[in-house]
Amino acid sequence: MKKYIEIGLAVVVLGFLAYYFFQGEARKVRKQFVAIANAVSKPSGEGNIAMGVKMATLANLLNDTVVISIKDFPFNSEMPADELVSLASRGRTYFDYMEITILDVETEFTSKTTAVSRCAAKVRTRSKTGDYNYDEVREFTSDLVKGENKKWLFASFKQDDLLKK
């Protein structure tokens, strides 16, 4: 009888540890999504120093190469992370205001070092000329890899057409 209690207790402890481990990793992935949203977002009147800090943060969130496949994005391809950071930096200059808010993130871990996440984000922009204002919810899928520093890095961004207007 004592043996069965010990086995049952061991199973419960192992189950709790597995649940805690995967919940911890899921939180880390969500934190990366919030960090990348903050790095790309631009408040009105943002200065050059703040933009430089955000672009350095963005570079630290990306894998060495990143695949982009997003509707209406003119640079869909596989590209080095530094090229994507450069594009993001130039693209942000066309906007007076850009806000990305992460609404939901669901993550499936395909191995200890890879994950696939589906993310819903609210994107609001106001161009400097006022001719391109955007306020929509977009859903996309991202592949992430665990880097050498044990942080989750974005390897791809693909549009998920689940939420179409």
For residues 91 and 7, the model is more confident at 91
* Predicted confidence band of residue 131 (pLDDT cuts 50, 70, 90): confident
| pTM for this entry | 0.80
Q: In total, how many domains does the chain have? A: 1
Residue ranges making up the domain that contains 150: 2-160
Residue 82: inside a domain, yes or no? yes
Residue 165: inside a domain, yes or no? no
Instruction: Write the pLDDT tens digit of every residue in 36-55.
Output: 999 999 999 899 899 999 99
The CATH number linked to 85 is 3.10.450.50
Residue 112: inside a domain, yes or no? yes
Among 3-7, 14-18, 113-117, the range scoring the smallest mean pLDDT is: 14-18
Residue 102: inside a domain, yes or no? yes
Average pLDDT over residues 76-91: 92
The span from the CA of 30 to the CA of 24, in Å, is 10
Residue 156: inside a domain, yes or no? yes
